[in-house]
Every structure is written in structure tokens, then in C-alpha cells.
């Protein structure tokens, strides 16, 4: 039986950073075999943008890189912990918000920072919020998320190798 790993990327609004991560991961999974079935989603800890598509600047950056991006923003809830194996927060504030609503210690342990998987993180563990800045911020977000996902894919692949 094929093992399934369920991953959820979480930022604040679910319109900039986490849809970028979901899109990159889904795109990469389309042509990389991890030896495990992986399902990806994204969500926000906030509810301001629920029902909205990803920010146009995030969509433009993804299109420039050849990565399809779609989706509708939704808010992460305590019930979601049961649905995911790994919950990856884009920054420390969102990691703390997620751990704050985790129903138990096992759920809280599913929460990690995405940049734990970024080999270039160098102590800076947050993917900065690009919402109030210019398009350059979206380019930087894409690059650090892309690097992190390379690390994440290696982690999931090696964690499940030989099972």
C-alpha cells in the first residue's frame, strides 16, 4: 500500500506565502518521485481573505517561474490537525498561532517552520510577509520557499525511503 503524507503550508492571509509554497510543492511533485504519495494544501491563521484567490503579485511571480497557481484562501482550524502529518508555518508568529490552537501535544508537534528546510536560512527562520511591500518581496519569497521545498522534498523522500 502506498503511504500518503499530507502537508499543509500556513501563513497569515493564505494569499501570498502559503499559496506560493503549495503551488511550488504541487508543481515539483508532478515530476519528482518521492516514493510516497504526497498531498498538499495551504491555509491562513487569519480570516481576512477567506474566499479570495492568491494575491496577483504572487500569481505573477509564479507565472514568471512557470509554476501554476490557483486556490481559494481559507482559515486553518483546530480540526485540520487531524488531516495533516506536517504543518509548515511561514514564520514564527504563525507557528505560535498554530501551536496555540493545537488540540494536544501530538498536534502541536506537527508544526514546524518551513525554513527549517532552507539550507540558506542562516538563522533567519521566517519567510517575510510580502503583502505591504513591492514585487521584489514576492521574488525573494519565491526563492526562499523554492529552496525550502527542495529541502522538504529531500526530507520526506529520505524519511519514507525503504518503508
Q: Could you list the active site residues?
A: 11, 17, 129
Indicate the helix (H) or strand (E) that contains 152: helix 135-160
Contact region with ligand 4NP (CB under 6 A), list: 11-19, 29-37, 80-88, 113-121: 11-19
Cα separation of 41 and 87, whole Å?
Answer: 10
| Interaction between residue 11 and ligand 4NP (CB under 6 A) | yes
Q: Choose which of 7, 9, 14, 156 interacts with ligand 4NP (CB under 6 A).
A: 14
**Taking CB under 6 A as the criterion, which residues in 128-147 touch ligand 4NP?**
129, 131
Answer whether 149's CB lies under 8 Å from 29's CB: no
Instruction: Count CA within 13 A, CB hemisphere, residue 106.
Output: 6
**Taking CB under 6 A as the criterion, which residues in 69-98 touch ligand 4NP?**
none
Cβ nearer to ligand 4NP, comparing 11 with 144 = 11
Cβ nearer to ligand 4NP, comparing 49 with 110 = 49
Indicate the helix (H) or strand (E) that contains 148: helix 135-160
Cβ nearer to ligand 4NP, comparing 21 with 34 = 21
Distances in Å between the Cα of 30 and the Cα atoms of 39, 73, 74, 89 are 11, 22, 24, 23
Residues engaged in binding ligand 4NP (CB under 6 A): 11-17, 44, 48-49, 129, 131
Amino acid at each position: 500500500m502506498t503511504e500518503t503524507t499530507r502537508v499543509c503550508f500556513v501563513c497569515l492571509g493564505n494569499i501570498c506565502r502559503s499559496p506560493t509554497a503549495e503551488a511550488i510543492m504541487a508543481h515539483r511533485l508532478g515530476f519528482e518521485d518521492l516514493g510516497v504519495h504526497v498531498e498538499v494544501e495551504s491555509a491562513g491563521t487569519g480570516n481576512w481573505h477567506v474566499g479570495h484567490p492568491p494575491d496577483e503579485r504572487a500569481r505573477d511571480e509564479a507565472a514568471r517561474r512557470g509554476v501554476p497557481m490557483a486556490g481559494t484562501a481559507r482559515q486553518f482550524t483546530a480540526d485540520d490537525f487531524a488531516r495533516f502529518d506536517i504543518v509548515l508555518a511561514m514564520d514564527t508568529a504563525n507557528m505560535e498561532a498554530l501551536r496555540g490552537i493545537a488540540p494536544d501535544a501530538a498536534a502541536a508537534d506537527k508544526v514546524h517552520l518551513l525554513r527549517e528546510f532552507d539550507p540558506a536560512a542562516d538563522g533567519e527562520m521566517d519567510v517575510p510577509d510580502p503583502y505591504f511591500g513591492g514585487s521584489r518581496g514576492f521574488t525573494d519569497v519565491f526563492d526562499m520557499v523554492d529552496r525550502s521545498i527542495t529541502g522538504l522534498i529531500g526530507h520526506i523522500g529520505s524519511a519514507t525511503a525503504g518503508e
